[in-house]
Amino acid sequence: MPFIDMPVAELRTYRAATDAPPDLSTFWDQTLSEAAAIPLDPSFEPVQARLGTLDAYDVTFTGYGGQRVRGWLRVPARRDGPLPCVVQYIGYGGGRGLAHENLLWGAAGYVHLVMDTRGQGSQSTAGDTGDPVFSGPAHPGFMTRGILDPTEYYYRRLYVDAVRAIDAARAN
């Protein structure tokens, strides 16, 4: 159970006093327009993961700055038509893992795309996508990489990769 310092009724109506920067929408509109101008170039290569009920694919697509991002796509082997898709982003420190890991969504009948988290994958699950852009400061880890400049911030790259992962899932 989390520790909270307000009654639940107050938490439900609480709004932070901090306002969004006035150029926030413009910044993200421009960032996503720049990303969309670069071809997605998705690739879905079948892999022999020996999963009797799922087909597995090694996925690559173009993410932020034209850099390639990897993932896994798992699709129920027996399907009669289009299926709903879950796009999963691994949390801090994790990567896409191995083709035979994380099978819940596919086993439940969904198409499942797991996006690799650039520069991560050393804690819970292995990663396979580097982060060739690094600008300080960083202490320790990723949350502070480039934090002093929104155009250089790590999460700008990661969020664009996430949007492009959805585009890749829709392309399949």
pTM of the shown model: 0.82
Which of 69, 65, 32 is CA-nearest to residue 168?
Answer: 69
pLDDT of amino acid 40: 97
Contact status, residue 57 vs residue 76, Cβ threshold 8 Å: no
pLDDT of amino acid 26: 97
Which of 86, 161, 147, 148 is CA-nearest to residue 119?
Answer: 161
Question: How buried is 68 (Cβ within 10 angstroms: 0-12 exposed, 13-18 middle, 19+ buried)?
Answer: middle
**Phi, psi of 159, rounded to the nearest 5 degrees:** -65, -40
Distance CA 85, CA 99 (A): 17
Find the Cα–Cα–Cα–Cα dihedral 120, 122, 127, 130, rounded to 10°: 40
pLDDT of amino acid 20: 87
In tens digits, what is the pLDDT along the chain, a chain of 172 residues?
Answer: 567 788 889 989 988 888 889 999 999 999 999 999 999 999 999 999 888 999 999 999 999 999 999 999 999 998 889 999 999 988 777 788 888 988 999 999 999 999 988 877 666 676 766 676 664 444 456 777 888 889 989 899 999 999 999 999 999 7
Rg of the chain over all Cα atoms, to the nearest angstrom: 18
